[in-house]
Chain A
Amino acid sequence: MRDVAVIGVGVTKFGELWDKSLRGLIVEAGLEAMHDSGVTSKDVDALYGGNMSSGLFVSQEHTAALIGDFAGLASRHIPATRVEDACASGGVALRQGYISVASGIHDVVIVGGVEKMTDVSESLATDALASAGDREWESFLGVTFPGLYAMMARRHMHEYKTTKEQLGAVAVKNHRNGALNPKAQYQKEITLEQVLNAPMVAEPLGLYDCSPISDGAAALILCPLERARKFTDNPVKIIASAQASDTLSLHSRRDICTMDATVAAARNVYRQANKKPKDIDLVEVHDCFTITEIVAIEDLGFVKKGEGGKASEEGLTALNAEISVNPSGGLKSKGHPVGATGVAQAVEVITQLRGEAGKRQVKNARVGMTHNIGGSGATAVIHIFEAI
């Protein structure tokens, strides 16, 4: 196994990007990453594209070859592979790219993630997202994606006395961070009152407890650490990569207040990196809903099980507090183009570790983590990065 570095990053603005297409978005992010890294198309050996549901969102499959084509790589005939694990598609694409470089099969790999979600009606987007759960035994029966997380939240409230105010604190904090991120979909702060008075989506989750429907793309360039300095002055090392799975349906889980896939992958990355939760300076966690961030910081070991709500309310997860959680604004405020999310999380962590995050810069950021979830927790993929 070779050490792997990230040598370039690119990310589009996230939001309702009416004038941009799926291919336009990913090519924009990819070219930005290539430019950032200094590699040229001649250097690229392979492409991994994370995308959840271009079939349902824009009736286009075979997305990786399309990306390669419009990135001008068709004549190079590199292998282009689409990776799909629902909302974890981006994180898993990164892991596939990482494995291919670490193994020695490829040298320079481009990892992309993209989702174009606003070309369908909201109700069709709701249906498409619900396909990340068990189509036959969950979504077919009427449960939406927010509905699954709402049941998680309700149970968390029941078992650990988590409150709606604590859920709301996550949204307020992430919007505060997002307001400092020029690529974020919502660059504005919100108040707890706004969160609590928002229209309900799936009780107890209101509109501000939910990440939005977004368009966007992100890209990374990976290469062996030993070659990184040939391309760039500020490579960031991937020091751990792990992925785990669980039952597809929420109802079949051992415990719906814990994502065992996160717990398993976390155990693995901490061991690989020889780090403990307290060694992590910042983490981009998967906050598709406010409850998801609370469960994530518990499962990742930043707080004890059941104390995620309290920790959020007390500000322990704010920018430059105990642990900076979602300095980018998270999925909640930055936006959640599902297939792009896992890659965009890595873009944020690398930007932070390079010290280039501007107003939202985490002080003395040396070690950062990304945590990307698919479905209601059937896939978890975690990476740890370190500045070198």
Chain B
Amino acid sequence: MSAPRFWREINQRYNLVGTECGNCGKKYFPIRSVCPECHRESIGKMKKVKFSGNGKVFSYTVIHVGSSMFQMQTPYIMAIIELDEGPRITGQIIDCETKDVKIGMPVESVFRKIGEDGKSGTIYYGYKFRLMK
């Protein structure tokens, strides 16, 4: 991923900023410019919202064959998290044993390195999750 491609999403990736429909109040992550429920009614009414990062494990997997950027971390846990505010997002769960995760467990977001553009490129940071202590 080139520097600008990552850079333009920094606020979303660092601070879990998504959107809220000004028409129906439904919240989305990542940012959407049209509400899939309200369509035309929502245009121009989508506003930015910062999520707390707290949520629950909706589903998860332990990845043993990782994509190229993640081979140093296998086995690692990926999950779909249902945020307290409603939307579901995909993220890694870190700092626990692979057998510790169960559907429904509360999690909180943390700030971690997602990957890097080779040895000399930029470093990508963003959200991951850990089980609530």
Binding site for B on A (CB under 8 A): 122-124, 126-127, 130, 136-144, 146-147, 150-152, 154-155, 158, 199-205, 249-252, 256
Q: Is B91 an interface residue (CB 8 A)?
A: yes
| B residues 57-88 in Cβ contact with A at 8 Å | 58-71, 73, 75-76, 78-80, 87-88
A59 to nearest B CB, angstroms? 17
A140 and B5 alpha carbons, distance in the complex (Å)? 12
Interface contact tally, CB-CB below 8 A? 102
Q: Is B9 an interface residue (CB 8 A)?
A: yes
CB-based contact B63/A123 at 8 Å: no
Task: List 18 extra interface pairs beyond A126-B65, A143-B63, CB under 8 A.
Answer: A136-B30, A141-B91, A142-B70, A142-B114, A142-B115, A144-B63, A144-B65, A144-B67, A146-B63, A147-B61, A158-B59, A158-B103, A202-B63, A202-B64, A202-B65, A203-B62, A251-B89, A251-B90
CB-based contact B66/A142 at 8 Å: yes
CB-based contact A200/B103 at 8 Å: no
Q: Is B126 an interface residue (CB 8 A)?
A: yes
**Of listed B65, B76, B87, B89, residue having the most chain A CB within 10 A:** B65
Given the contacts A137-B89, A142-B78, A155 and B59 also touching, CB distance less than 8 Å? yes
- The residue that B114 contacts in the complex, of A140, A249, A252, with Cβ under 8 A, is A140
A219 to nearest B CB, angstroms? 32
B124: chain A residues at CB < 8 Å are 140
B78: chain A residues at CB < 8 Å are 141-143, 147, 151, 202
CB-based contact A151/B80 at 8 Å: yes
- The residue that A141 contacts in the complex, of B62, B88, B114, with Cβ under 8 A, is B114
Q: For chain A, what secondary structure do more than half of its interface residues adopt (helix, strand, loop), or is it mixed?
A: helix
Q: Is B92 an interface residue (CB 8 A)?
A: yes
The 10 A-B residue pairs with the shortest CB-CB distance, nearest first, are A150-B61, A151-B59, A155-B59, A251-B88, A203-B62, A143-B78, A123-B68, A200-B64, A251-B80, A202-B61
CB-based contact A250/B90 at 8 Å: yes
Binding site for A on B (CB under 8 A): 1, 9, 30, 58-71, 73, 75-76, 78-80, 87-92, 98, 103, 114-115, 124, 126
A201: chain B residues at CB < 8 Å are 64-65
**Of listed B1, B75, B78, B89, residue having the most chain A CB within 10 A:** B78
A158: chain B residues at CB < 8 Å are 59, 103
A252 and B28 alpha carbons, distance in the complex (Å)? 9
A152: chain B residues at CB < 8 Å are 59
B68: chain A residues at CB < 8 Å are 123-124, 126-127
A126 and B68 alpha carbons, distance in the complex (Å)? 8
A123 and B80 alpha carbons, distance in the complex (Å)? 23
A144 and B73 alpha carbons, distance in the complex (Å)? 13
A330 and B15 alpha carbons, distance in the complex (Å)? 43
The residue of chain A having its C-beta at the shortest distance from the C-beta of B58 within the complex is A155
The residue of chain A having its C-beta at the shortest distance from the C-beta of B80 within the complex is A251
B102 to nearest A CB, angstroms? 9
Given the contacts A155-B59, A251-B80, A256-B59, A146 and B65 also touching, CB distance less than 8 Å? yes
- The residue that B67 contacts in the complex, of A126, A249, A251, with Cβ under 8 A, is A126
B65: chain A residues at CB < 8 Å are 122, 126, 144, 146, 201-202
A152 and B98 alpha carbons, distance in the complex (Å)? 18
A140 to nearest B CB, angstroms? 7
A154 and B98 alpha carbons, distance in the complex (Å)? 14
A150: chain B residues at CB < 8 Å are 61, 63
A361 and B60 alpha carbons, distance in the complex (Å)? 39
A48 and B124 alpha carbons, distance in the complex (Å)? 39
A78 and B1 alpha carbons, distance in the complex (Å)? 37
CB-based contact B62/A200 at 8 Å: yes
B59: chain A residues at CB < 8 Å are 151-152, 154-155, 158, 256
A223 and B64 alpha carbons, distance in the complex (Å)? 47
A123: chain B residues at CB < 8 Å are 67-68, 71
The residue of chain B having its C-beta at the shortest distance from the C-beta of A151 within the complex is B59
A272 to nearest B CB, angstroms? 27
CB-based contact A141/B90 at 8 Å: yes
CB-based contact A155/B71 at 8 Å: no
Given the contacts A136-B9, A140-B1, A142-B70, A147 and B63 also touching, CB distance less than 8 Å? yes
A138 to nearest B CB, angstroms? 5
A130: chain B residues at CB < 8 Å are 67
A202 and B78 alpha carbons, distance in the complex (Å)? 9
B128 to nearest A CB, angstroms? 8
A341 to nearest B CB, angstroms? 21
The residue of chain A having its C-beta at the shortest distance from the C-beta of B126 within the complex is A141
The residue of chain A having its C-beta at the shortest distance from the C-beta of B128 within the complex is A141
B96 to nearest A CB, angstroms? 14
CB-based contact B90/A138 at 8 Å: yes
The residue of chain B having its C-beta at the shortest distance from the C-beta of A143 within the complex is B78
Given the contacts A141-B114, A147-B78, A250-B90, A203 and B61 also touching, CB distance less than 8 Å? yes
